[in-house]
């Protein structure tokens, strides 16, 4: 699956986003439906559909998502307080946009585990 997603439109500026950071490889912008006081997404500028598509060839690019997250955390001043990076994968992971993205959540103690339900198995 290599269909265009809404994130391609953000990359090419067809639709607006509140962009926090950009370099040749990645783009970071605020999540439109924030789940924490600070919640933004870091995406690669080329589409990798899901975490299952991360491989030896694109591993360096995926690493750049974390590099950008750490840079932004320092710039925005929440690096020392802490934050959470999450990448959801496919249906059970809660993925809704099929272009990998690192959720970066911060701004309060986030708690763990992140789910409320009683554990169940398939
Ligand atoms: P996921 O469910 O892990 O695939 O995350 C997709 C995220 O993209 C959700 O947190 C959405 O709120 C966010 N999102 C969807 N459309 C936009 C948009 N146009 N601008 C910013 N964030 C968006």
CA of 76 to the centre of ligand 1 (A): 21
Output the pLDDT for position 120.
62
- 119: pLDDT confidence band, cut at 50, 70 and 90? low
The residue contributing the CA closest to ligand 1 atom 3 is 95
Task: Please tell me the total count of domains within the chain.
Answer: 1
The CATH number assigned to the domain holding 85 equals: 3.30.428.10
For 52, the domain range is: 6-106
**pLDDT tens figures, 43-99:** 999 999 999 999 999 999 999 999 999 999 999 999 999 999 999 999 999 999 999
- 93 Cβ below 6 A of ligand 1: no
CA of 3 to the centre of ligand 1 (A): 16
3-state secondary structure the chain: CCCCCHHHHHHCCCCCCCEEEECCCEEEEECCCCCCCEEEEEEECCCCCCHHHCCCCCHHHHHHHHHHHHHHHHHHCCCCCCEEEECCCHHHHCCCCCCCCEEEEECCCCCCCCCCCCCCCC
**pLDDT tens figures, 6-18:** 999 999 999 999 9
């Amino acid at each position: 699956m290599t269909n265009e997603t809404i994130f391609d439109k953000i990359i090419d500026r067809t639709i607006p986003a509140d962009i926090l950071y950009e370099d040749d490889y990645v783009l970071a912008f605020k999540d439109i439906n924030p789940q924490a006081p600070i919640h933004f997404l870091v995406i690669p500028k080329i589409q990798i559909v899901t975490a299952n598509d991360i491989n030896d060839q694109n591993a360096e690019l995926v690493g750049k998502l974390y590099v950008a997250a750490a840079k932004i955390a320092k710039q925005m001043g929440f690096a020392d307080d802490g934050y959470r990076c999450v990448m959801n994968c496919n249906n059970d992971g809660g993925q809704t946009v099929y272009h990998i993205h690192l959720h970066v959540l911060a701004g309060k103690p986030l708690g763990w585990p992140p789910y409320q339900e009683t554990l169940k198995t398939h």
